[in-house]
Amino acid sequence: MQKPADITADKLAALSALERKVLWLASWTIHNANHLRESADGLKVGGHQASSASLATIMTALYFDVLRPQDRVAVKPHASPIFHAIQYLLGKQTQQKLQDFRGYKGAQSYPSRTKDTDDVDFSTGSVGLGVAQTLFSSLVQDYVHAHGWAKDRAEGRMVALVGDAELDEGNIFEALLDGWKQGLRNCWWIIDYNRQSLDAVVREGLWERYEQLFKNFGWDVVIVKYGSLQQAAFKEPGGDKLRAWIDTCPNQLYSALVFAGGAAWRKRLNDEIGDQGDVSKLIAKRNDDELAALMNNLGGHDLPAVLAALKGAHPEKPTCFICYTVKGFGLPMAGHKDNHAGMMTPAQMETFQKAMAVRPGHEWDKFEGLDAPDAMQAFLDKVPFAAGGERRLSAPMIDVPETLPVTIQPTMATQTGFGAILNEISRGDNNFAQRIVTTSPDVTVSTNLGPWVNRRGLFARQAMSDTFKSEHIPSTFNWEFSPKGQHMELGIAEMNLFILLSALGLSHSINGERLLPIGTLYDPFIARGLDALNYACYQDARFMVVATPSGITLAGEGGAHQSIAEPLIGMAQDGLASFEPAFVDELAAIMHWSFGYMQKDGTGEASEKNWLRDETGGAVYLRLSTRPIEQIQRTMTPELRGDIVDGAYWLRKPGPNAQVIVAYSGAIAPEAIAAVGLMAEDRRDIGLLAVTSADRLNAGWSAAQRARERGLVHARSHIERLLGDVPPHCGIVSVGDGHPATLAWLGAVEGHRTRALGVEHFGQTGTLADLYRHYGIDTNAIIAAAQSIAPGKPIRHLKALP
Ligand SMILES: Cc1ncc(C[n+]2csc(CCOP(=O)(O)OP(=O)(O)O)c2C)c(N)n1
Ligand SMILES: [Mg+2]
C-alpha cells in the first residue's frame, strides 16, 4: 500500500503518540470510573476497555488527520471512551466529565447527542441505528443542497464506525437498499473487523460475504488487512508463506494466539510452517516480542495502512472499509473471546500504566509520557477537524401561517382531513411550504399524501419523468422525480422511515437548514420501527409522524393491521407529543401548533398554563383514522384551540350535580356522543370530555404535582382545571380505540371512580358495529359502564351486554 504523500514522518510520529495517549486515556477513564463506583456502591458497571481499544488507531487517524469539520460521525457505542478521550485532547471534553464517566452528569457510556457535551454527532447504543443514520444523513445533505440551501457549506462525509457484529442488525441492510435507490454519496462505513461480538467469535469468511454485498449495492470496498510491518515481512523471503498462513488461519485461533503472545505464535507457526526454509528464518530472526508485534500488526492497528486506505478512497462513492483489528489491542486481554466487557485488573493496569510512562498522580495529564508536549499541543491546535469552530449549527424558525385552512366536509375522517390540509399547504408558494418534506414507507397514497406529492413532486438528484404520464396513460397520480421534489420515497421498511425522519429532523443542527419533516405509516407498524423512533427522539430530532389508519376501527383489515398499544407508546415515548383527534378542525389546530413546536428549542421552564415543556419543543405523533364521522359545525376560538392543544375540552360541560361523565379519545367520538345523549334523561348533569391528547394531559398533570411538591402551591394542570368542578361522587367512563390504560388514570386526578373501556386483545375482521360491540367500546358498553359506576335508576336505553 502506498504511503499517502501528506503523511510525513513527523506527522506519523505525532499521530502515533496520540494513538497511545488515546488508548491510555480511554482505558484509564473506564478503570477509574469502575474503581470509584465499586468502592462507592459495590457495583461494577462493565468496562468495554477491549471493545473500545480496537478502534483507537482508526479513530486517531480520523479525528486528528482525516476528518474535516463538516464531516459527521456515528461512533460505535463501546468506543465512547475513545471518543471522549479524543475530545479531551482537543480541548472539548473536561477532566471532570471523564472522571465521572458513566456517573451522574459525567461523560456518557455510549455517545449521546443530547446528554454529552463534547460534540457527539449521532447518538449510538442500540447497535445498527447509528450506522444507518449516517446513510440517511447523507441523503438529507443531498436533499438540502439540491434545494439550493446551504450553498456556502462544504459537503460533509457521513462516517460510521461499525462493530463487525453490529452488521447482524437487519436495519443496516434495509438502509443499504434505500441508499442504493437514492444514489447515495459521501458515506463511509468503517468496520472494526475484530471478529468478535459480545458472546462469540465471528464465522470464517464473513468479510467475503460483506465484500460482495456492498459491491452489489454500488459501494467501493476497501480491505485493510495487513499492517505495514506485515506488508514489509511479506516481501522478505518466505513472506508469501507467512501471508498464506495468516489468510487461512481461523478467526478463533488467531484471536487465541494474539492473547497468548509471542512464544505461542512461535510454537504454532513452527509447528505448521516451520520446516519450510525461508519462512523459518523469517520467524527465527524475530524475538518473541517482535514476532507478536508482527502477527498482531493487522491493518486496523497500523496508522500508515489506515491512513492510506482512508485517504485513497474515492472522493464521493460510498465506501466500506473492512479493517482487521484485535479486540483489546494493546491491552493484556487482547484477543481473548471473553473480553467484551473485560477490565484490566489493578495489577494489569499498573503494568500498563508503566508501559505508557504515566506517573501515578499524572493520569489525566494530557501529555504525560510524551517527549515534546509543546510540539504536541501545536499539532493539536492545527487539527483540521477542530479548526472550523462550532460544529453544531442552528437555523432560524420558519414562520407558520396564521391558520391552516381546510374545507371541512359534513362527514369526514381525520386521515382525509390530513390529506386535505397538506393539499392546501401544497398550493402555497411560501417558505413554509418549501421547507416541508414528506416521506412514507410505501404507503404514500394510502395515507393520503397523494395530492401533496402530485403537486410538490418526488425528490431525486436526477430527474425522472412519470412514464405513465409521458405515455399519456391516465392516472390519478403524477409521480415525477426531480431535485426540487419534496417527497422522499422509501421502500416498506419502517426502520428506514424513522431513521430518515431522524436525519431530516436534525437538519437544522447538522446542515444549518431547517426542514419540517412529515412521515406517514400505518399505526400498527410503528412497532416495527419503534427502536428507531425511540432513537430519533433520544437525539432530539424534530418531525411529525402521522400514523393512520389505527385501531380496530380499521375493521375489515383484521388483527394484523389493527393497533392496540400505540396510544400507550405515544404517552410513554419521551420527546414525542402525541395526539388523537376526532374532528378535522381539531386536527388543523394540532398540526398548526405542531409546526411551531417542532422548531422550538428553548430550555425554558414548564409553562404555567399547562405545566408542559412547550418551549423546549419536540417531535409529534398524530394517531388518525379512516373512519368518516359527522363533523361539528363550530367556530374555532382561541380558547378552544388552546384546549385542543393542551389535550382536552368539554364537548358538553357537566353540571354541578353531575353523576357521570364520559371521556373519549379519537374516532370513537360518535359512540361517546350517542351514549351521553341516551343517558341524559336518566343521569343528572352528564358531561362529555373530548380528549385530544392523553399524552399531554397526563404529562401536565404529573409535572404540576411535582411542582406542588417543590413548593409551587398554585401549580395546576389542564386536566386538574377541567375536572376540578366535577363533584366527587361523579363517575368517569373513559373510552378509546386502543388500550384502556390510556385514559384509566383520569380517575386518579381528583379521585373519581372510573371505568376504562378500550381494546385489550387482538382485533379481528368484522363490521365496525360487530367489533365495537365485541370489544366493548360501543354505545351500549359505555352506557353499561356508566350504569355500573354511577348507580341510580336503570338507564332505560341500556340493553343486555353480549
Ligand atoms: C440492539 C442492541 N442489541 C444488543 C446490544 C448489546 N450489545 C452491545 S455490544 C454487542 C456486541 C457488539 O459486537 P461488535 O459490534 O462486534 O463490537 P465489538 O465490541 O466487537 O467492537 C451487543 C450484543 C445492543 N447494544 N444493541
Ligand atoms: Mg466485534
Give the model confidence (pLDDT) of 400-409 as tens digits. 999 999 999 9
β-strands 187-193, 72-74 pairing: unpaired
Burial of 413 (0-12, 13-18, 19+ CB in 10 A): buried
Ligand 1 site, CB within 6 A: 51, 54, 77-78, 125-127, 163-166, 192, 194, 196-198, 327, 340
For residue 685, give Cα distances in angstroms to 523, 724, 787.
36, 15, 15
Q: Ligand 1: which residue has its CA nearest to atom 9?
A: 198
Peptide bond just before 794 cis, omega within 30 deg: no
Task: List CB-based neighbours of ion ligand 2 within 5 Å.
Answer: 163-165, 194, 196
Q: Which atom of ligand 1 is nearest to the CA of 196?
A: 20
- Cell numbers 416521506 correspond to 439
pLDDT of the residue at 37: 66
Cis check for the bond before 549: say yes or no (omega within 30 of 0).
yes
> Nearest-CA neighbor of 644 among 632, 628, 655?
632
Name the 3-class secondary structure at 732.
Answer: strand
N-terminal to C-terminal alpha carbon distance within the chain: 78
Q: Please give the pLDDT value at position 43.
A: 57
Mutate which of 109, 192, 198 to test ligand 1's pocket (most atoms within 8 Å of Cβ)? 198
Query: What separation in Å is there between the alpha carbon of 96 and the centre of ligand 1?
Result: 27
Separation of CA 252 and ligand 2 centre (Å): 13
Per-residue pLDDT at 606: 77
CA of 17 to the centre of ligand 2 (A): 25
The 8-class DSSP code of residue 43 comes to: -
Written as nine digits, the cell of 736 is 378509546
Q: Cβ contacts of residue 653 below 8 Å, gap of 6+?
A: 687
Cα–Cα distance measured from residue 103 to residue 91, given in angstroms and rounded to the nearest whole number: 21
CA of 198 to the centre of ligand 2 (A): 7
Query: Which residue type does 656 have?
Result: P
Task: List, in sequence order, every residue forming a beta bridge with 691; answer none if it has no partner.
Answer: 648, 665
Between the CA of 400 and the centroid of ligand 2 the distance, in Å, is 47
Pocket test for ligand 1, best of 30, 51, 109, 322 (most atoms within 8 A of CB): 51
In 3D, which of 799, 793, 791, 660 has the Cα closest to residue 735?
Answer: 660
- Are the C-beta atoms of residues 539 and 114 closer than 8 Å to each other? yes
Rounded Cα gap, residues 323 and 246, in angstroms: 15
Pocket test for ligand 1, best of 192, 197, 301 (most atoms within 8 A of CB): 197
Query: Residue 319: what are its φ and ψ, rounded to 5°?
Result: -135, 135
3 state SS of 349 = helix
CA–CA dist 416, 472 (Å, integer): 28
CA of 192 to the centre of ligand 2 (A): 6
- DSSP annotation of 662 reads E
Give the per-residue pLDDT at 40.
59
pLDDT of residue 34: 79
Which residue, by CA, sits nearest to atom 10 of ligand 1? 198
* Spans of the chain, pLDDT less than 50: none
Take atom 23 of ligand 1 and give the residue whose Cα is closest: 198
| pLDDT, position 571 | 98
- Give the residue whose CA is nearest to atom 19 of ligand 1: 51
> In the prediction, which pLDDT does 297 show?
95
In DSSP terms, 579 is beta-bridged to 622
Which phi and psi (to 5°) does residue 679 adopt? -90, -15
| Gap between the Cα atoms of 301 and 306, Å rounded | 8
Contact between 165 and 196 (Cβ < 8 Å):
yes
Q: What is the Å distance from ligand 1's center to 607 Cα? A: 40
Q: What's residue 504's pLDDT?
A: 98
pTM of this prediction? 0.96
Ligand 2 center from residue 297 Cα (angstroms): 17
